[in-house]
Chain A
Amino acid sequence: METTNNQFSTALHNKRRSAKAFRNKKERTRYWVLLIVLLSIGLLSSLGLLLYNNPVPVDSPSFIPVTKRRIAAVIAMAIAVICHSLSTVAFQSVTNNKIITPSLLGFESLYGAIQTSTIYFFGATALVNFSGPEAFGIQVTLMVIMSLILYGWLLSGKYGNLQLMLLVGIIIGSGLGSVSTFMRRVLAPSEFDILQARLFGSVNNADPEYFPIVIPLVIIVAVLLFLFSRKLNVLSLGRDVASTLGTSHRASIIYTLILVAILMSISTALIGPLTFFGFLVATLTYQAAPTYDHRFLFPMSLAIGFAVLTTAYFVMTHVVSAQGVVSVIIELVGGIIFLIVILRKRKL
């Protein structure tokens, strides 16, 4: 309806007034400076991971073959960062809740259950052999299918309800967790040891064999999420406002959750569970990027995630020589930072 009296007080409008993503120039500048600093930290740490304590000089022909494992680990970190950062930020926006993570939907428990039941029913050899692109494909497919059933069923029914979906997700997750725990009780100690190594999230679990499938898939999904940014901005206003602004809320949520499910499944199948990481990154992102706009939140979350993960690995590998506990440390530091942020700001 454009027939209204457009003369009404438009004289008060001037070019300085705008509804752009940042309140003012200062905040925008701060955002870009922080983004560049964090990206530099991430790049420096990954260079450090590749070069530090490396006997082979960069210009030597044997550099690439020798550092193959390190390169694979850095690539795995990048994949984990893309998966966890983007999916957590998107998930928190569509659920309108800043203290939950997509892990609540039971991906990690399902991963644990698949691994545990393989060793329980078929023995340790089966678990060791349960690798390669097929096994990877099966796991990702299973996890995506489970989440599709869950979302499809719970969100499209007459009682379609996000809270209910989350609750059922948590219950399924803890149910699967209990079944796995039960099966683990009756494993032989040696079998349990093999299993345990798989269940700790670590970039060294990542098999470079999967990269040709994983990298394009992750990039496609990440691009789709980026393209969906403006819709996510509206969805973060809640169901009612989003609907009245003309988005089909249910379809948009299911679309987002499918993308989130793909990212989470890939990451979990590739490097194992990293429960707290996405949560830590998202919380820090909201502090570092003072905006609602996902076109700026997403890049910041990637920069923060990459900086945190590479620095943690660099410090743990080369400074403290305790590489195996990186995921433990991330969760510890993440938890502390999260508490500090909440207690200092008294809000999320």
Chain B
Amino acid sequence: MIKINDIKKRYTDSVEIGPLNIEIPRAGLTSLIGPNGAGKSTTLLMIGRLLDIDEGNITVADLDVSSTKSKDLAKIITILRQENHFVTRLTVRQLVGFGRFPYSKGNLNKKDEEIISKYIDFLKLTELENRYLDELSGGQRQRAYVAMVLCQETEYVLLDEPLNNLDVARSVQMMDHLRQAANEFGRTIVTVMHDINFAAKYSDRICAMKDGKIAAYGTVDEIMDPEILTDIFETEIQTIDGPYGKVAIY
């Protein structure tokens, strides 16, 4: 379980995130939605210890993220940002292999290689595994990074806009993979999403943020409410019942 207790992040006197209080239970997929500048990514980065917390604390599986050693946290939680610096002479397989670093410290054994193969196959990168990262399209590279964080085999996986720059087909494919990772491997996945309908179709829970505060948090059905959505995005939003549940129309 991820517990966020009264956290605050101050950028300037007028711009601050928080205080936030939220508990994200184990297993399943939780999406953070909200307008630009609502603090979704900031919150995700603070959970993933990439950004310091100014006040309050966050615990992941009962470990405080700001005081627990980074190498211990690396076996429990992983985070992937939207844009990553990539090394030119690095193949997909070698990148995914870095996911084993918290365990093997760079000295891969046979079991590590098997786990690496498993996640490469899982994300359908088998054919591409010996390509260098700069020989891939943006979407393929994104998948390679997702394979790396899954290969870390942490209980908690945080993804900052995993659908950024992906077309509809790739987005559907990516969400199917994430859904499958949550179902089959029992991972707890938290993502930041921009597309309400993608969030609604694939998530178990949605947390809506606005102006640095949590505006609404609940199941997909609870959040997919015209009033709540209109209020959060300050845009007229209707919902209708579609074949996969509620669909937002804007």
Residues of A within 8 A of B (CB): 1-6, 8-10, 12-13, 17-21, 23-24, 96, 158, 230-231, 233-234, 236-241, 243-248, 286, 289-292, 347-348
In contact, A244 and B50 (Cβ under 8 angstroms): yes
Give residues of chain B (1-50) contacting chain A, Cβ–Cβ below 8 Å.
48-50
Count CB-based A-B contacts (< 8 Å): 123
In contact, B186 and A3 (Cβ under 8 angstroms): yes
Q: Which residue of A lies closest to B48 (CB)?
A: A244
A residues less than 8 Å from B72 (CB atoms): 246
In contact, B155 and A1 (Cβ under 8 angstroms): yes
In contact, A244 and B98 (Cβ under 8 angstroms): no
Q: Which of A3, A17, A23, A244 contacts B80 (CB 8 A)?
A: A244
Q: Does B221 contact A (CB under 8 A)?
A: no
User: In the assembly, what is the distance between CA of A230 and CA of B98, in Å?
Assistant: 10
Given contacts A19-B96, A233-B98, 4 further A-B contacts (CB under 8 A): A19-B91, A230-B106, A245-B101, A247-B71
Contacts A4-B153, A234-B98, A292-B90 given; does A243 touch B50 at CB 8 Å: yes
CB of A18 to closest CB in B, whole Å: 6
A residues less than 8 Å from B84 (CB atoms): 237-238, 240-241
In contact, A9 and B121 (Cβ under 8 angstroms): yes
CB of A27 to closest CB in B, whole Å: 10
Residues of B within 8 A of A (CB): 48-50, 52, 70-75, 78-81, 84-91, 93-99, 101-102, 105-108, 112-114, 116-118, 121-122, 126, 129-130, 134, 148-149, 152-155, 184-186
CB of B183 to closest CB in A, whole Å: 10
Among A3, A239, A245, residue most surrounded by chain B Cβ atoms (within 10 Å): A245
In the complex, 9 of the A-B residue pairs with CB atoms within 8 angstroms, ordered by the A residue number, are A4-B185, A6-B118, A233-B106, A237-B86, A238-B84, A243-B50, A245-B98, A245-B102, A286-B88
In contact, A243 and B49 (Cβ under 8 angstroms): yes
In contact, B81 and A240 (Cβ under 8 angstroms): yes
B residues less than 8 Å from A9 (CB atoms): 117-118, 121-122
Among B70, B102, B105, residue most surrounded by chain A Cβ atoms (within 10 Å): B70
Contacts A19-B108, A243-B70 given; does A237 touch B87 at CB 8 Å: yes
In contact, A240 and B79 (Cβ under 8 angstroms): yes
A residues less than 8 Å from B87 (CB atoms): 236-237, 292
Contacts A8-B122, A243-B50, A248-B70 given; does A13 touch B153 at CB 8 Å: no
User: In the assembly, what is the distance between CA of A299 and CA of B98, in Å?
Assistant: 22
A residues less than 8 Å from B73 (CB atoms): 246
In contact, A245 and B93 (Cβ under 8 angstroms): no
B residues less than 8 Å from A20 (CB atoms): 108
In contact, A17 and B113 (Cβ under 8 angstroms): yes
Q: Which of A8, A12, A18, A234 contacts B184 (CB 8 A)?
A: A8
In contact, A286 and B89 (Cβ under 8 angstroms): yes
Q: Which residue of A lies closest to B93 (CB)?
A: A19
In contact, B118 and A10 (Cβ under 8 angstroms): yes
CB of B178 to closest CB in A, whole Å: 15
User: In the assembly, what is the distance between CA of A290 and CA of B81, in Å?
Assistant: 27
User: In the assembly, what is the distance between CA of A246 and CA of B117, in Å?
Assistant: 22
10 closest residue pairs by CB, A with B: A246-B74, A19-B97, A230-B106, A238-B85, A13-B117, A246-B71, A4-B185, A292-B90, A246-B102, A9-B121
In contact, B101 and A240 (Cβ under 8 angstroms): no
B residues less than 8 Å from A2 (CB atoms): 153
User: In the assembly, what is the distance between CA of A238 and CA of B95, in Å?
Assistant: 12
B residues less than 8 Å from A245 (CB atoms): 74, 98-99, 101-102, 152
CB of B106 to closest CB in A, whole Å: 3
In contact, B121 and A12 (Cβ under 8 angstroms): yes
A residues less than 8 Å from B117 (CB atoms): 9-10, 12-13, 17
Contacts A241-B98, A246-B74 given; does A12 touch B149 at CB 8 Å: no
In contact, B118 and A8 (Cβ under 8 angstroms): yes
User: In the assembly, what is the distance between CA of A196 and CA of B161, in Å?
Assistant: 57
A residues less than 8 Å from B79 (CB atoms): 240, 244
Q: Which residue of A lies closest to B97 (CB)?
A: A19
CB of B118 to closest CB in A, whole Å: 5
User: In the assembly, what is the distance between CA of A5 and CA of B182, in Å?
Assistant: 12
In contact, A4 and B186 (Cβ under 8 angstroms): yes
In contact, B153 and A1 (Cβ under 8 angstroms): yes
User: In the assembly, what is the distance between CA of A257 and CA of B67, in Å?
Assistant: 25
A residues less than 8 Å from B85 (CB atoms): 96, 237-238, 241
